[in-house]
């Protein structure tokens, strides 16, 4: 399993009748599951495969932004009292 920690988004898709997991920092990296847990399990595999393919093709592997990305997003949200 990769030591790199990427943000993962999981959402329900009516069209697919299941859960989709995506890694915004890894273009095209997504997975499907009938439950959120299954989608999470599948996306972890997809991340490994994405990184493996990128290494073989000599593509740059993005550094996980994680908390830094979250802080950036939150800093743009205005708190309304």
Which pLDDT belongs to residue 52? 96
Q: Which long-range contacts (CB under 8 A, 24 or more apart) does 55-61 make?
A: 61/4
Task: For 1-27, write each residue's pLDDT tens digit.
Answer: 556 689 899 999 999 999 999 999 999
Question: What is the per-residue burial (b if ≥16 Cβ within 10 Å, else e) of 36-70?
Answer: eeebeebbbebbeebbeeeeeeeeeeeebbeeeee
| pLDDT tens readout for residues 24-54 | 999 999 999 999 999 999 999 999 999 999 9
Domain ranges of the chain: 9-76
Query: Cα–Cα distance between 26 and 65 in angstroms, integer?
Result: 11
**C-beta separation of 4 from 51 below 8 A:** yes
Query: Has domain 9-76 been given CATH number 3.40.50.300?
Result: no
**Looking at the predicted structure, is the pLDDT value of residue 67 above 80?**
no
């Amino acid at each position: 399993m990769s030591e790199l920690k990427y943000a993962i988004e999981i959402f329900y898709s009516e069209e697919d009748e299941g859960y989709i997991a995506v890694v915004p920092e890894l273009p095209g990296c997504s997975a499907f599951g009938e439950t959120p847990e299954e989608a999470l399990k599948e996306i972890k595999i997809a991340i490994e495969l994405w990184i493996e393919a990128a290494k073989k093709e000599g593509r740059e592997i993005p550094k996980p932004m994680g908390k830094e990305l979250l802080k950036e997003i939150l800093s743009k949200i205005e708190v309304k009292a």
